[in-house]
Amino acid sequence: MKDLDRFAITEAVLDRIAGTPDPRLKRILESAVRHLHDFAREVELTPEEWLAGIAFVTAVGQACTPRRQEFILLSDVLGLSRLVNVMHDARSRAEGATATSLLGPFFREDAPEVPLGGSLAARPESAGGKEILLFGRVTDAAGAPVPGATMDLWQADAAGRYDLQAEDPATVDMRGRLRCDAEGRYHLRTVKPLGYSVPMGGPVGRLVRQQGRHGHRPAHIHVLVTAPGYQDLVTALYFADDPHIASDTVFGVSDSLIVSERTGLPDSPRPDLPAVRYDFRLSPLAAGTTSGRVGADPSRLAVAAAAQGSPAG
Ligand code: BEZ
Ligand code: FE
């Protein structure tokens, strides 16, 4: 047994995992070990710092519930979620298709159906905000209409809160599922959202504060567009007049996703309302491409985690 100095230990681990049968898993593990060891060497990680890191990751796990995914939040504030999106877009987004953005932790699979022209505001208190219209088309990357697309929309209300943050967990508000018409057209009413802070009460919030950063996201409306034969489009529209438009704490904003509401847009179905016109352009679902969703409904993730078995196993 040779002495394992600060470099030999890396080679020893790589030798040990060389027999991993799944080639993709092998590649990921080898790279992770190399980078992890390089990182520890670069910062001269001490035993106390190593333990503090273990305590931090433990606290992140303990903060996860079926309603909260602290690990995804960690990935978001470190820019990893955005990086995974950017790389996915580079691999599989058709030229001209809409950019993706983060799904975030407030997506739910079971949004209520909203008719064309209907409103996302289900509660009278939400309806008190500034009413706006969102309209446009779902098309392919070249601009040809995609008939029968489905849009899921969810957003914070005019006070910057999601329904899932309401006292009553059964509250459903400011979210809905819309079916576009045969020419891919859609229009709906909603309330202009306010920007908000990501959950800052856990270990990730502490880490953000330790860096002297704020935890704000600029005002936005999340959109998931699905249609047969096309990749799921997970994106969001960001309002230009938000003070944090250039400093989103989770790096979700792209220039092409920034919008402003305007009156007097030529083909608005509701000329009486300030409106945002946005066309969503989908990429074809090529063989071997994945849906491209970054993130998931946290309650589904909790079920998937439980299915991996308990530590006693
Ligand atoms: C959101 O936009 O809903 C969100 C995204 C990342 C972290 C927290 C919230
Ligand atoms: Fe959001």
Please report, as a single letter, which amino acid is at residue 47: P
Closest CA to 77 of 242, 240, 206: 206
Helices then strands, counting H and E runs in the chain, come out as 7, 11
Decide the pairing of beta strands 275-277 and 131-140: parallel
Q: Which of 9, 52, 86 is CA-nearest to residue 206?
A: 52
Has residue 127 got a pLDDT over 90?
no
**Is residue 219 in contact with ligand 1, taking CB distance under 6 Å?**
no
Average pLDDT for 50-62: 98
Q: Which residues surround ligand 2, an ion (CB under 5 A)?
A: 104
Instruction: Flag the least confident range among 34-48, 211-225, 282-296.
Output: 282-296
- Give pLDDT tens digits for 168-178: 878 999 999 99
Question: For residue 290, is pLDDT > 90?
Answer: no
311 pLDDT band, cuts 50/70/90, is low
> Measured from the CA of 199, which atom of ligand 1 is nearest?
8
Q: Does residue 250's CB lie within 6 angstroms of at least one atom of ligand 1?
A: yes
Give the global pTM.
Answer: 0.92
Q: Is the pLDDT of residue 313 over 60?
A: no
- How high does pLDDT run on average in the chain? 93
